[in-house]
A and B are shown apart, each in its own frame.
Chain A
């Protein structure tokens, strides 16, 4: 539980952070809330030699609405999403999913950019951004690019983000129909054993912890679009997936949970 030795740099701006990443190469890592990175370092699953602390970049902590879009700075804490009146109005789904992450201490440190960059298939907010059809803004040495959430996640803890890129902003559509998030876990502070996010009255459905990335349940979405009932649509939720096997759940039980929770989420989102 003692991390390996590392150096520590404080970034003064996003540009500075990216310059530091370029300077230190592959061994450098951004440190945001630290609530995924530091545990991995304590288990020595991650041994970066330099940490670039972006946690003090307060200009990347914001929630802005306009033109039907909610723009969220990458350093915005989960607790800020949870308690923001603007968020509750413009995208209540993201606020309520944020409220289910970990425990209060985790939510006061963890950031939206950090949880997306970490790309843990068991995390809550990435799946919500995926179901909402969000966009991730990443800045690198050559400038900024926009990445659709559907294109972002590539594998266990892997994304299309380059080693010298930093997420600066996340955008999700405002408003947008019936939504629900079902998180199934054993203790309040735990990650989901399985989770299901439904946005846009069933137009966007995504699954948590059912594979190597947050997964868009396109079969369910198609069934809903084709007029299927919630029960009929939910029946295909786990089709073709290879969910993980761990102490909490084997693949068979996870598939069962995905079906049960998808039906509940669709019902709650207004799909009969």
Chain B
């Protein structure tokens, strides 16, 4: 047998169907609301109908008349449950950041529509809903501040009068650079100055939130089940907030139907159910309704962006200056204040811009708190710089692809140290753009566009570019320390081989739709020479996977997957020592491939992994001093972020009679480094693009001037469906990341980061000859029609 005949099957890189899907597609998967918990107390939350009001009285008498409703509790009744504890914010971005005390249920004042003001305890979910609807709350309305810019206006009502200002913090990134930035603007041949609005978005995962806290009164233990992305972080935080010893607490995330960041949090209901369960000695559970979730789950985005570019006569950008106003909402949730910072390093996009200045002022408003939503800060940054680059192209008189080409960080510049202080790992941005241009058939599209303009057609064509780079793989723990984040960025993995040579992978990443089980199996299968179906992946239960930092920020593969890879290497090292012992050879003379150790040059001297696994189990004949069993644990702290990048091109047709925008083509070329499973990558990119296009065209959390959320259901909040999806045409251009052994970068957020500016640039491109230079998101038919009418001097 020669080694080439026995080459390992390369699962990595193949389009393997997902292991997760049969259970999901047949309904076998169990979500939070599927848990059967006999005797559970159901919680109904009474939510403020006022944006800002003193709570004068709570009358539960009508609720208590309802069959199955047992108790109505006010915030004051509940306050002893948490004592000094309050909902945590883990990211105090500046030493003087203002952080109002955030109780799970308000006691004196409601700060936003949806703020919990009382709870109903009932025998069923139905009775809890009836009871919550029947509680009468007497409010004394207070002036509310709704819009971001109003919050910082003179004389604005205060969201938290005790904090004496609506300003939460101001954070800047300019170092010694301010003078150089000013000089670049003074000398610039072209200055672009733009103001963009990032509307608030409702994450709307398929499965709303929910939780169930189950006590074991005999031993004082508590198991908290939650539809969460972060069982590990939730465990630590619940222990701290409620003073439950960590060794008595277990957190389980069952099957979780998406999160997009909104389940990366520690919520009032999780603390409430846990505290009540401990107090009552009975299971306590809550399931969120869709419209309830629009108010009670964090929202995304919510920024006013000012961006300026200074360029020389050739359009080479010399400086970028950004001032941001970011909406925190009424309270700080887990990482609310940090979200704008995650974009704060990337307002120069994928361009080599020597001078950089970023400042963010974050404000409180009487609205639902914001927090991380797919891309978290990076979609906002990419939107601003990519829109502004198109404006610069117009000013310089070159095409969007040419202005990008003139400014890209060169392929030979890596590792590239950016003016904002990051070190970019790898990339070839021009090659990526060239591929996208070819795939889009750009010259034919442009010819079509021109002929429609010449014919005076009411169906204009627009072509929009978006070239992006993002920072993923959160994160080097020391970098997080420098940003005052309250935790590290490592990830943990354990790999075990059983006596019958099956593989158990325990990961600290917590999938909620991504496909970790499939991808981790493929990685390990290639390393060990086993079948992916012989690998089980355990996760999302702190009793099974006690160490981890969970899933968000496109970190799973680059950090968690790397930990799995490294743990597997460690197991192979141990197996090699046993093999050397059995074959009476030195470890250096052994090679391992296709699941078999062989002595180099002596092909007949070989031992399969299965034999070693059994030998490690029986421990009858191991090298002196070696522990039995094949098992290894790794905690991996990445040395750097990873930097996925790409160019997306959107083609839209705009009906100038109605303002309707049709997404007729969409090309995306992404560099997410080495791909483990292209099928999973494409799924992430498809969903991501549609989510970004949704911000561009459909989704908007609309508040009226009283602070009432108007779009609280999926008829008014327009999440697009497959029917609205553009034709996705994808390609990739991998430059392996040198940061980790597999060369991976991450792809969970790429589509969302790239898509919104590509689509809006396309809409503006379609209408530029009609005088339109900007269209706000979402570019609804009415918004587009009015933009055209305004540009034409009000004539419709």
| Most central of A190, A248, A253 by chain B CB within 10 Å | A253
User: Is B133 close to A, CB under 8 A?
Assistant: yes
**Interface-forming stretch among B111-119, B606-614, B720-728, B750-758?**
B720-728
Given known contacts A187-B718, A188-B721, A248-B780, is B133 in contact with A253 (CB within 8 Å)? Answer: no
- A2 contacts across to B, CB distance below 8 A: 125-126, 129-130, 289
State the Cβ distance, A53 to closest chain B Cβ, in Å: 20
- A250 contacts across to B, CB distance below 8 A: 782
User: Is A247 close to B, CB under 8 A?
Assistant: yes
User: Is A44 close to B, CB under 8 A?
Assistant: yes
State the Cβ distance, B332 to closest chain A Cβ, in Å: 28
Interface string of A1-28 (1 = CB under 8 A from B): 1101100000000000000000000000
**When the two chains form their complex, are residues A189 and B723 in contact, meaning their CB atoms are under 8 A apart?**
yes
State the Cβ distance, A46 to closest chain B Cβ, in Å: 14
Instruction: Give the distance in Å from the alpha carbon of A103 to the alpha carbon of B291 in the complex.
Output: 21
Given known contacts A1-B290, A247-B710, A248-B782, is B720 in contact with A187 (CB within 8 Å)? Answer: yes
**When the two chains form their complex, are residues A256 and B721 in contact, meaning their CB atoms are under 8 A apart?**
no
**When the two chains form their complex, are residues B658 and A184 in contact, meaning their CB atoms are under 8 A apart?**
yes
State the Cβ distance, B485 to closest chain A Cβ, in Å: 36
| Most central of A186, A248, A256 by chain B CB within 10 Å | A186
- B786 contacts across to A, CB distance below 8 A: 253
From B129, B292, B721, A187 is in contact (CB under 8 Å) with B721
- B721 contacts across to A, CB distance below 8 A: 103, 187-189
**When the two chains form their complex, are residues B796 and A256 in contact, meaning their CB atoms are under 8 A apart?**
yes
**When the two chains form their complex, are residues A1 and B292 in contact, meaning their CB atoms are under 8 A apart?**
yes
**When the two chains form their complex, are residues B785 and A253 in contact, meaning their CB atoms are under 8 A apart?**
yes
User: Is A257 close to B, CB under 8 A?
Assistant: yes
Given known contacts A247-B711, A256-B785, is B133 in contact with A187 (CB within 8 Å)? Answer: no
**When the two chains form their complex, are residues B657 and A44 in contact, meaning their CB atoms are under 8 A apart?**
no
Instruction: Give the distance in Å from the alpha carbon of A140 to the alpha carbon of B133 in the complex.
Output: 36
From B291, B292, B716, B785, A247 is in contact (CB under 8 Å) with B716
User: Is B483 close to A, CB under 8 A?
Assistant: no
Instruction: Give the distance in Å from the alpha carbon of A15 to the alpha carbon of B782 in the complex.
Output: 48
For window 677-725 of chain B, which residues contact chain A by CB distance below 8 Å?
A: 698, 700, 702, 710-711, 713, 715-716, 718, 720-721, 723-724
**When the two chains form their complex, are residues A260 and B291 in contact, meaning their CB atoms are under 8 A apart?**
no
Q: Which residue of A lies closest to B293 (CB)?
A: A1
User: Is A249 close to B, CB under 8 A?
Assistant: yes
Q: Which residue of A lies closest to B129 (CB)?
A: A2
State the Cβ distance, B583 to closest chain A Cβ, in Å: 63
Q: Which residue of B lies closest to A250 (CB)?
A: B782
**When the two chains form their complex, are residues A249 and B782 in contact, meaning their CB atoms are under 8 A apart?**
yes
User: Is B265 close to A, CB under 8 A?
Assistant: no
- B796 contacts across to A, CB distance below 8 A: 256
State the Cβ distance, A237 to closest chain B Cβ, in Å: 14
**When the two chains form their complex, are residues B133 and A44 in contact, meaning their CB atoms are under 8 A apart?**
yes
User: Is B466 close to A, CB under 8 A?
Assistant: no
**When the two chains form their complex, are residues B130 and A186 in contact, meaning their CB atoms are under 8 A apart?**
no
Instruction: Give the A-B contact count at a CB cut-off of 8 A.
Output: 58
Given known contacts A253-B782, A253-B785, is B723 in contact with A188 (CB within 8 Å)? Answer: yes
- B716 contacts across to A, CB distance below 8 A: 247
**When the two chains form their complex, are residues B657 and A260 in contact, meaning their CB atoms are under 8 A apart?**
yes
State the Cβ distance, B9 to closest chain A Cβ, in Å: 41
User: Is B476 close to A, CB under 8 A?
Assistant: no
- A248 contacts across to B, CB distance below 8 A: 780-782
Residues of A in contact (CB 8 Å), total 22
From A43, A44, A188, A257, B724 is in contact (CB under 8 Å) with A188
- B724 contacts across to A, CB distance below 8 A: 187-188
Q: Which residue of A lies closest to B661 (CB)?
A: A186
**When the two chains form their complex, are residues A190 and B658 in contact, meaning their CB atoms are under 8 A apart?**
no
| Most central of B290, B724, B782 by chain A CB within 10 Å | B782
Residues of B in contact (CB 8 Å), total 31
Instruction: Give the distance in Å from the alpha carbon of A98 to the alpha carbon of B723 in the complex.
Output: 17
Interface string of B102-129 (1 = CB under 8 A from A): 0000000000000000000000011001
Instruction: Give the distance in Å from the alpha carbon of A249 to the alpha carbon of B289 in the complex.
Output: 27
State the Cβ distance, A208 to closest chain B Cβ, in Å: 15
Question: Dominant SS at the A interface?
Answer: loop
User: Is B735 close to A, CB under 8 A?
Assistant: no
- B713 contacts across to A, CB distance below 8 A: 43
Interface string of A185-199 (1 = CB under 8 A from B): 011111001000000
Instruction: Give the distance in Å from the alpha carbon of A1 to the alpha carbon of B289 in the complex.
Output: 6
For window 153-191 of chain A, which residues contact chain B by CB distance below 8 Å?
A: 184, 186-190
State the Cβ distance, B297 to closest chain A Cβ, in Å: 14
User: Is B556 close to A, CB under 8 A?
Assistant: no
Instruction: Give the distance in Å from the alpha carbon of A256 to the alpha carbon of B658 in the complex.
Output: 8
Interface string of B622-653 (1 = CB under 8 A from A): 00000000000000000000000000000000
- A190 contacts across to B, CB distance below 8 A: 715, 718
State the Cβ distance, B257 to closest chain A Cβ, in Å: 16
Instruction: Give the distance in Å from the alpha carbon of A260 to the alpha carbon of B657 in the complex.
Output: 7
- B660 contacts across to A, CB distance below 8 A: 184
For window 222-263 of chain A, which residues contact chain B by CB distance below 8 Å?
A: 247-250, 253, 256-257, 260
State the Cβ distance, A94 to closest chain B Cβ, in Å: 22
**When the two chains form their complex, are residues B130 and A4 in contact, meaning their CB atoms are under 8 A apart?**
yes
- A186 contacts across to B, CB distance below 8 A: 698, 718, 780-781
State the Cβ distance, B220 to closest chain A Cβ, in Å: 34
- B290 contacts across to A, CB distance below 8 A: 1
Interface string of B280-294 (1 = CB under 8 A from A): 000000000111100
For window 330-348 of chain B, which residues contact chain A by CB distance below 8 Å?
A: none
Q: Which residue of A lies closest to B289 (CB)?
A: A1
State the Cβ distance, A195 to closest chain B Cβ, in Å: 13
Q: Which residue of A lies closest to B657 (CB)?
A: A260
Instruction: Give the distance in Å from the alpha carbon of A256 to the alpha carbon of B782 in the complex.
Output: 10
Q: Which residue of B lies closest to A189 (CB)?
A: B721
- A184 contacts across to B, CB distance below 8 A: 658, 660, 781
From A5, A187, A189, A257, B698 is in contact (CB under 8 Å) with A187
- A4 contacts across to B, CB distance below 8 A: 130
Instruction: Give the distance in Å from the alpha carbon of A248 to the alpha carbon of B125 in the complex.
Output: 34
Instruction: Give the distance in Å from the alpha carbon of A189 to the alpha carbon of B292 in the complex.
Output: 23
**When the two chains form their complex, are residues A1 and B781 in contact, meaning their CB atoms are under 8 A apart?**
no
Q: Which residue of A lies closest to B717 (CB)?
A: A247
Q: Which residue of B lies closest to A252 (CB)?
A: B796
Interface string of A47-71 (1 = CB under 8 A from B): 0000000000000000000000000
Interface string of B756-796 (1 = CB under 8 A from A): 00000000000000000000000011100110000000001
Given known contacts A187-B718, A248-B780, A253-B786, is B130 in contact with A5 (CB within 8 Å)? Answer: yes
| Most central of A2, A190, A257 by chain B CB within 10 Å | A2
Instruction: Give the distance in Å from the alpha carbon of A257 to the alpha carbon of B781 in the complex.
Output: 10
**When the two chains form their complex, are residues A187 and B723 in contact, meaning their CB atoms are under 8 A apart?**
yes
Instruction: Give the distance in Å from the alpha carbon of A251 to the alpha carbon of B720 in the complex.
Output: 25
State the Cβ distance, A1 to closest chain B Cβ, in Å: 4
- B698 contacts across to A, CB distance below 8 A: 186-187
Q: Can you sample 25 A-B contacts with CB below 8 Å?
A: A1-B291, A1-B292, A2-B126, A2-B289, A4-B130, A43-B291, A43-B713, A186-B698, A186-B718, A187-B698, A187-B718, A187-B720, A187-B723, A187-B724, A188-B724, A189-B721, A189-B723, A247-B702, A247-B711, A248-B780, A248-B781, A253-B782, A253-B785, A253-B786, A260-B658
Known pairs A187-B698, A247-B716, A257-B658; list 17 more (Cβ under 8 Å).
Answer: A1-B289, A2-B126, A2-B289, A4-B130, A5-B126, A184-B660, A184-B781, A186-B718, A186-B780, A188-B721, A188-B724, A189-B721, A247-B702, A247-B711, A256-B785, A260-B657, A260-B658
The 3 residue pairs across chains A and B that have the minimum distance between CB atoms: A188-B723, A2-B129, A1-B289
